[in-house]
C-alpha cells in the first residue's frame, strides 16, 4: 500500500511538471504582461529567463528589447542604454535595431549623457537610405537641446529634419516646431548684468525687475537696516561696532547683487520653459496621432 501511494505521488508530480512546460512564446507573453502592469524588475527577470533558456529562439531579440523597455520604465536609464547597446551588438540583423538605436539615444539623453545621445541620434538620422526611425531621430536630436536651454541648436535640428524628410509625418512636425522655436525672439530677456547693476545702485531693484517683488523688498529693507546700524554706531563714536556692522552690511549688499543676477537668470529660464512646454505639448499630440513604441517626450 505504501509503495502504491509513492508511485501515485510520482506519477502526479510528473503530470504536473508536464503541465507547467512553458515555451518561448508563453514566456515572452508573461514578461510583456508584467511590463504592462508596471512590474518592471519582475519583467526584466522574465525577459532574461527567455534569453537564457531559449538562446536560439526567434523571440530572443524581442526579449532583449523588453529588458531595455523595463529598465527604461523603472527610470534606470543608464542600464537601459547598456541593454540597448548589447541588443544592437548581439542582434544586429534584427528588425528591432532601428527602434533600439532611437531608444538608445533617448535613454542616453534621459541619463544626462547629451553628447553621446546626440552622436547616436545624428548617425541614425543621417542613415542612407533612411531607416524607419531616422526621421524621429532627427526630431529627438532637436528635443535633446531643450533641457540645456539651447533653442538655437534645437531650431537647427528641426530645420534639418524638416528639409530631409519633408513628406514624413515627423518632418511635418519638425517644420511646425521650427515655427514654435522661432518665437524665442519674442521672449522677454533680462540681462543678469543689468539686474545686478540695478541692485548695486538701489538694493532690491534688480530682483523687482526679474519679477521677484518681495525678494526686492527684503533686499532693500535688509540693506537699509545695516546702513542705519552702521550710521548710528559711527555717530555715537562706537567705532568697533561700526566696523563690524559695516562689514556685515557690505556682505549683504554684495549678496543682494548676486541674488539679482541669479533672479534674472531664473526669469529667462521661466520664459524659455514656457516655450519648451509648448514644444513638448505639440510632440505629445503628434505622438497620439502617430503612435510608435518609443515616446520622444516621456511624461514624469
Residue 17 has what pLDDT? 47
Same domain, 276 and 196: yes
Residue 189 has what pLDDT? 82
Same domain, 243 and 215: yes
Same domain, 176 and 208: no
As a whole number of angstroms, the distance between CA 278 and CA 181 comes to 9
Same domain, 130 and 209: no
Residue 164 lies in a domain: yes
Residue 48 lies in a domain: yes
Same domain, 36 and 51: yes
Q: Is the CB of residue 152 less than 8 Å from the CB of residue 178? A: no
**Cβ neighbours of residue 131 closer than 8 Å, sequence gap 6 or more:** 98, 101, 124
Same domain, 178 and 243: no
Residue 100 has what pLDDT? 95
Task: Tell me how many degrees the CA angle 98-101-104 measures, rounded to the nearest 5.
Answer: 150
Residue 71 lies in a domain: yes
Domain extent for 85: 24-94
Per the structure, the count of domains in the chain is 3
**Cβ neighbours of residue 142 closer than 8 Å, sequence gap 6 or more:** 153, 154, 155, 156, 157, 158, 161, 174, 177
As a whole number of angstroms, the distance between CA 117 and CA 121 comes to 6
Residue 11 lies in a domain: no
Q: List the chain pLDDT tens, one digit each, 300 residues.
A: 545 554 444 455 544 444 555 688 999 999 999 999 999 999 999 999 999 999 899 999 999 999 999 999 999 999 999 999 999 999 999 999 999 999 999 999 999 999 999 999 999 999 999 999 999 999 999 999 888 888 889 999 999 999 999 999 999 999 999 999 888 777 788 888 988 888 888 888 888 888 888 888 898 888 888 888 888 888 887 888 878 888 888 888 888 889 989 888 888 888 888 888 888 889 889 888 888 767 776 653
Examine residue 222 and say whether the peptide bond preceding it is cis (omega within 30 degrees of 0).
no
Domain-terminating residue out of 186, 218, 233: 186
Amino acid at each position: 500500500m505504501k509503495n502504491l501511494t509513492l508511485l501515485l505521488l510520482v506519477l502526479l508530480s510528473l503530470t504536473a511538471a508536464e503541465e507547467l512546460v512553458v515555451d518561448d512564446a508563453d514566456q515572452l507573453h508573461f514578461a510583456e504582461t508584467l511590463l504592462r502592469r508596471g512590474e518592471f524588475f519582475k519583467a526584466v527577470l522574465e525577459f532574461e529567463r527567455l534569453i537564457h533558456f531559449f538562446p536560439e529562439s526567434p523571440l530572443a531579440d524581442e526579449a532583449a528589447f523588453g529588458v531595455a523597455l523595463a529598465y527604461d520604465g523603472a527610470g534606470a536609464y543608464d542600464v537601459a542604454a547598456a541593454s540597448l547597446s548589447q541588443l544592437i551588438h548581439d542582434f544586429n540583423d534584427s528588425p528591432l535595431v532601428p527602434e533600439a538605436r532611437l531608444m538608445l539615444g533617448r535613454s542616453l539623453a534621459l541619463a544626462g549623457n547629451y553628447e553621446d545621445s546626440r552622436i547616436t541620434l545624428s548617425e541614425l538620422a543621417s542613415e542612407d537610405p533612411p531607416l524607419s526611425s531616422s526621421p524621429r531621430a532627427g526630431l529627438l536630436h532637436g528635443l535633446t537641446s531643450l533641457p540645456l536651454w539651447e533653442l538655437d541648436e534645437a531650431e537647427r535640428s528641426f530645420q534639418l529634419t524638416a528639409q530631409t524628410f519633408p513628406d514624413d509625418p515627423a518632418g511635418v512636425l519638425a517644420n511646425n516646431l521650427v515655427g514654435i522655436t522661432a518665437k524665442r525672439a519674442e521672449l522677454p530677456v533680462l540681462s543678469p548684468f543689468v539686474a545686478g547693476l540695478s541692485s548695486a545702485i538701489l538694493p532690491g531693484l534688480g530682483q523687482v525687475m526679474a519679477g521677484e517683488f518681495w525678494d526686492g523688498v527684503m533686499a532693500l529693507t535688509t540693506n537699509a537696516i545695516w546702513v542705519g546700524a552702521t550710521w548710528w554706531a559711527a555717530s555715537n563714536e562706537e567705532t568697533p561696532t561700526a566696523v563690524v556692522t559695516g562689514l556685515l552690511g557690505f556682505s549683504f549688499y554684495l549678496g543682494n547683487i548676486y541674488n539679482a543676477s541669479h533672479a534674472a537668470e531664473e526669469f529667462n529660464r521661466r520664459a524659455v520653459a514656457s516655450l519648451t512646454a509648448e514644444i513638448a505639448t505639440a510632440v505629445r499630440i503628434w505622438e497620439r496621432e502617430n503612435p510608435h513604441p518609443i515616446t520622444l517626450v516621456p511624461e514624469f
